[in-house]
Chains A and B, each alone.
Chain A
C-alpha cells in the first residue's frame, strides 16, 4: 500500500511541472504511466475516468485524483492530488511573492501592462480552439456565441445559460 502511494507521488509530481499552457499536454503521459507502466487501471477504466473528468466541475487535471482513487482509495486520491497540484503551486506562490515585492517597480508595471494584449490574444485563440473542437458542430457555435452575446448585453446568470445549453443539446441531439 505504502509502495503504491509512493509511486503515485513519484509518477505524478514531475508531471506537475510539465503542465505548461494547459493540462491537456500531460494526458498522454498520464495514460502511459497509469495504464501501461504502473498498471493501476486498464484501458477501458482510463477512458471511463477521462470521460468522467470532463463531466465533473473544477480543474480537468482531477483525472489524476480519480486514478489515485482507483489505485489506492482515499489515500491514493489525496496523494495523487497533492503530487499533481502542490509542486507547481509552490512555484507560482513564490512568483506571486516576488511580484508583490516589486509591484511598484517600473519594469514590473511595464510587464503587467505589456501582458494585457498578449493575454487578450491568448484568451481569444484558446476560445477559438476549444470551439473548433467542441462536440455539436453548428449547435456548439450557436450556443457559445449566443451565450457570450447574452452575457455581454444582459445581466443574465451564467447558470441559466449552462442549463439552457444542456437542454438545447438534449432537444436537437446534434450529431446524433
Chain B
C-alpha cells in the first residue's frame, strides 16, 4: 500500500493526452443515461485503461463527495488533475459539463414531442435501474478493495449501516468514520 504512489509516477509513459482525457470525459458525460456516472468513470479510468489505481479512485471519491460541489464534476476534476495537472483538471471539468449541456438543450427543444409519449419515462426508469447496476458493481469492487483487514471491514459495514439503515446524514457519518479509519491506517503505516 505504501508503494502505491511511486508505482504510478513510474508509469508516466501511458499517461493520456489532454485530448484523450477530454474525449473520454465527454463520452461518459453524454452516454451516462440514468446516472451511475462514477461507476462509468471507475470502469473506464481504473479497470479498462489503468490510468488511475482503484485505491486512488476510491479515496478521491470519498474526498470529493465530502467536499462542496457537484460530486461527479468534483471527481472528474480530481482524476483530471491527478493525470495531467491543471490542464487535465480543466479538460475533465469541461468534458463532464459542456457536451451534456449541449445534449440537454437539444433535448429540451424536442421535449414537447417526447413528453407526449408515455413510453419515454417508463423506458427511462428501466435504463436508470440498469445504471444502478453499474453503481452496485462499483460498490462490490470497492468492498473487495476495502476488505484487507477486520477493522476496515468493520468501518465499511458501520458506514453502510449508519447511512442506509439508520439514515444518518452522510457528512456527519464521514466526519466520524473517516478520522477513525485514517487514524488506524496511520498507526498501521508508522508502525512498520
Tell me if A59 and B37 are in contact (CB < 8 A): yes
Near A by CB (< 8 A), chain B positions 43-81 give: 43, 55-56, 58-59, 61-74, 77-78, 81
For A, the interface residue count at a CB cutoff of 8 angstroms equals 97
Near A by CB (< 8 A), chain B positions 101-140 give: 101, 103-105, 107-108, 111, 115, 119-140
In the assembled complex, which residues on chain A have CB atoms less than 8 Å from the CB atom of B70?
16, 19, 23, 59, 61, 84-85, 88
- Taken residue by residue from 154 to 186, chain B's Cβ proximity to chain A (1 for < 8 Å, 0 otherwise) reads as 011111101110000111011001100111111
In the assembled complex, which residues on chain A have CB atoms less than 8 Å from the CB atom of B124?
54-55, 166
The 8 Å CB contact of A125, one of B62, B104, B145, B163, is: B163
Binds B, one of A1-9, A31-39, A137-145: A137-145
Q: Assuming A112-B56, A120-B145, is B81 touching A97 (CB within 8 A)?
A: yes
The 8 Å CB contact of B2, one of A21, A58, A109, is: A109
Residue A29 interfacial (CB < 8 Å):
no
The 8 Å CB contact of A57, one of B30, B132, B177, is: B30
Residue B16 interfacial (CB < 8 Å):
no
In the assembled complex, which residues on chain B have CB atoms less than 8 Å from the CB atom of A136?
125-126, 129
Tell me if B178 and A114 are in contact (CB < 8 A): yes
Residue A42 interfacial (CB < 8 Å):
no
In the assembled complex, which residues on chain B have CB atoms less than 8 Å from the CB atom of A164?
130
Tell me if B159 and A122 are in contact (CB < 8 A): yes
Tell me if A65 and B74 are in contact (CB < 8 A): no
In the assembled complex, which residues on chain A have CB atoms less than 8 Å from the CB atom of B96?
58-59
Cα distance A162–B189 in the bound complex, in angstroms: 42
Cα distance A100–B123 in the bound complex, in angstroms: 43
Question: B112: shortest Cβ distance to chain A, in Å?
Answer: 9
In the assembled complex, which residues on chain A have CB atoms less than 8 Å from the CB atom of B170?
21-22, 122
Task: For chain B, give the interface size range.
Answer: 35 or more
Residue B31 interfacial (CB < 8 Å):
yes
Tell me if B82 and A18 are in contact (CB < 8 A): no
- Taken residue by residue from 3 to 16, chain B's Cβ proximity to chain A (1 for < 8 Å, 0 otherwise) reads as 01100000000000
Tell me if A57 and B29 are in contact (CB < 8 A): yes
Q: Assuming A69-B105, A130-B135, A170-B123, is B163 touching A115 (CB within 8 A)?
A: no
Q: Assuming A85-B97, A93-B86, A134-B132, is B164 touching A159 (CB within 8 A)?
A: no
Known: A113-B55, A118-B155, A122-B62. 5 other contacts (CB 8 A): A57-B100, A58-B37, A119-B62, A126-B135, A174-B122
Q: Show 15 residue pairs from A and B whose CB-CB distance is below 8 angstroms, ordered by the A residue.
A: A58-B99, A69-B105, A91-B69, A118-B177, A119-B58, A120-B58, A120-B146, A123-B142, A149-B133, A150-B133, A158-B36, A158-B43, A159-B31, A161-B133, A162-B33
Residues of B near any A CB (own CB < 8 A): 1-2, 4-5, 29-38, 40, 43, 55-56, 58-59, 61-74, 77-78, 81-82, 85-86, 89, 93, 96-97, 99-101, 103-105, 107-108, 111, 115, 119-140, 142-143, 145-146, 152-153, 155-160, 162-164, 169-171, 173-174, 177-178, 181-186, 188-190
